Amino acid sequence: MIIGKDLRKAFGAVKAVDGLSFSAGDGAITTLLGGNGSGKTTTLRMIGSLIRPDAGTVTIDGADTVRERTKALSHLGMLHDDFGLYPRLRIIEHIRFSAQLHGLSGRRLSTAVDNAIEALGLGDISNRFAAGLSHGQRMKTALARTIVHSPRNLVLDEPTRGLDVFAVRVLRDLLRRLRSEGVCILMSSHAMAEVMELSDRLIVIDQGKLIAEGTPAEIIAKGGGGDLETAFLRLTGVAA
């Protein structure tokens, strides 16, 4: 479970996140929904300890990401908006390296790497270098690296961005399976169809503040009915 309490982060005079509190539960997909500049990525980076909040706390399975950073991150897998792949490493080397960073070795290491490769359908290309991969293949490699240590919490920053229909299908199926296994999944997305398809709960934010939260149906109702896109635009004041 991931819990944020009164999170605040400013960059100069810009308040990127301004008193945001939220929770993402186990066995559920929770989606941060907001426009560009709403604070989504800043929030996710604070969860992953990439940046430190100016105020407030994040806990991952009860461990504070500032005071207990190593313990908190041991429970987390994070897919960044920039996949961060080393171009001269092979797919299997990326995944193996990530597993080793999380303390896996011996048979546990080999099994974990094999399972991650199978889960993302990377078996036929596992020896290819990252430099020659398509966008979808890079995403799958980064996601395999993210899940190789079987984290109980996943944070995904716009995971379907730039993917073709085949890669989106693989991602959907994987997220559903992980959810059924009790994993806490927190993602951000602009794709309303994906949000409706996958999300159990939505956290709508604007200018770093919480605007609304609930199931997709509840958000639509709070936004005056219709479809999710229209409700979102009303809640954020873009549409009447």
How many CB atoms lie under 10 A from the CB of residue 122? 22
Q: Is the dihedral of CA 125, 128, 129, 134 positive or negative?
A: negative
Q: What is the pLDDT of residue 239?
A: 59
Handedness of CA 78, 150, 195, 133 (dihedral sign): positive
Residues 197-222: pLDDT tens digits?
899 999 999 999 999 999 999 999 99
Q: Which residue has the higher pLDDT, 80 or 228?
A: 228
For residue 146, pLDDT beyond 80:
yes
E strand map for 48-89: 55-60, 63-64, 76-79
Beta strands in the chain (DSSP E): 2-11, 14-24, 28-33, 55-60, 63-64, 76-79, 153-157, 184-188, 201-206, 209-214
How high is the pLDDT of residue 170? 83
pTM greater than 0.75: yes
Average per-residue pLDDT in the chain? 91
Question: Is pLDDT at 81 greater than 90 in this prediction?
Answer: no
